[in-house]
Structure 1
């Protein structure tokens, strides 16, 4: 390291060799990674401890016999939703999950079954699968 002394009006010039700056940069990188990891762990623990209603996705698979509650969860509407709202939700979800667009035929069947149950075309109970 080279330091040139100065008077009150001169500029101080400090030269570092690359061998002196490499450990400093590595130290900052390790500190940043540790701090980021700490916040990621805290965020995960907060999300895990959140009540189930605050979670974005439903934890669990399909029931053996679809109920009105499960059908409303699949379509993302209330059990008492209007037919227009049910049809709009069905169209939106089927656009993303249609088998012709690379979606699963099993999920498409479940989405159709959910629409049929909520619109009253099919009674809650048996499943196609």
Structure 2
């Protein structure tokens, strides 16, 4: 590649970086602020399975549970704690959903 093309690519990347703001200031803004409740409620269960409270259906619960467990199953290197929370979220939503 020629120098002008590389310079243009670098300038475009820098402009995108500046438009995003500083990484430390924007990091984590889209994530839920707070820990787990001592007893899981419907809202927390929906957050864990990344479902809006309006989109909670048996089909969506099972689909999201399966997707989350494929990513976080302890037999595949995932956390047993997170797998437990994912299973608990499914149970709460199926019972109260």
SS at match of 2:53: coil
- Which residue of the other structure, out of 89, 98, 105, is the alignment partner of 2:80? 105
Deviation of 1:37 after TM superposition, in Å, equals 1.4
- Which residue of the other structure, out of 52, 62, 69, is the alignment partner of 2:43? 69
Deviation of 1:85 after TM superposition, in Å, equals 2.1
* Structure of higher CA gyration radius: 1
Structure 1 distance, partners of 2:59, 2:71, is: 19
Runs (4+) off by over 4 Å:
28-32
- Count of residue correspondences: 86
TM-score (norm 1): 0.53
Q: Which runs of 5+ in 1 are unaligned?
A: 1-24, 122-129
TM-score (norm 2): 0.67
Point out which structure has higher relative CO (alpha carbons under 8 A, 6+ apart).
2
**Counterparts of residues 107-126 of structure 1 (less than 5 Å):** 107-120=82-95
Taking a change above 3 Å as real, the CA distance of residues 61 and 104 of structure 1, as seen in their structure-2 partners, is farther
